[in-house]
Amino acid sequence: MSAAKRPRAVQIVLVLLLLAGYVFFTYSSAGGVMLGALGTIFIVICASLAWPERYKEYLGLIDLRKAWLASLALILLTGGIAFVLIRAIAAARGIGFGLDTAGLLPALSQIPFQTLNEELVLGALLLLSLRRRFRRPPSLLLSFAAALAFSLLHLAFYAAVAGENRGPLTPVTLASLFLAGLIRNNFILYQRSVWAAWAVHIGWNAVFLGPFVLDAMNEPTRFNIFLGSYLTLAFFAALLAASSLFLFLRRKKTIEKTSKEARNEGIQEKGRRE
């Protein structure tokens, strides 16, 4: 059955299952790499059933062979910057910073699938759905809306979650999350894929939630210390400005190239007619 003929009610049920599976597999207290991987598989299966012919497009799962090298470079670059930034904040706050070798494998093995699931659902699926649904508003407005949802979902999650990870997030933390959402949205809107956004997310979380902060603290506290720092806020603002300029110039170059090719084709067609 084609995507066009898929009953609307079936699509809605599948999307609700996708969202429920995303929340369960990604944020379950059990955690672990297997649960995160199952979440990714579940998301892809639900999307492929809802939109059989276009699920890769809807989830931003395109052009991996072209993007893997640049994505690897982004992981290393973002991770290196995050390491320097978070170490500086930890030193200023008197927080232990180093390498917890015992927690290295469990922490780093969980991060790739958890971040991928967030990019698939809160990134590509949300943002690209808004882009398809609302064609008149500029991309910047849609990016703001998706980034706001990204930051407020973190606020709602840590306000509602039971156990030790329950707690409030500060306004500066929410502002940093909002800027992080805008950075992610830049990449997704330009590339129509999640790979660059996923790479930046992995690089940051590998340090931020990885085995480097040695003092015991729950997640809201960690968010408020490191994402709630004005140093982090300034870094995200600079990264947003740099990524926006880079993508603007790339888009301008692409438009100019397309226009030039169209003019050349027009000249060639005119020559053939003459």
- CA-to-CA separations, 156 to 148, 167, 169, 181, 228, in angstroms, rounded: 12, 10, 9, 16, 17
DSSP string, 130-167: HHHH--SS-HHHHHHHHHHHHHHHHHHHHHH--STT--
pLDDT band at 155 (very low <50, low <70, confident <90, very high): very high
Task: Report pTM.
Answer: 0.84
125 vs 114: CA distance, rounded Å: 15
67 vs 89: CA distance, rounded Å: 32
CA angle, 129 then 203 then 196, to 5°: 35
73 vs 60: CA distance, rounded Å: 19
8-state DSSP, 102 = G
pLDDT 10s digits, 38-79: 999 999 999 999 999 899 999 999 887 778 888 899 999 999
pLDDT 10s digits, 191-201: 889 999 999 99
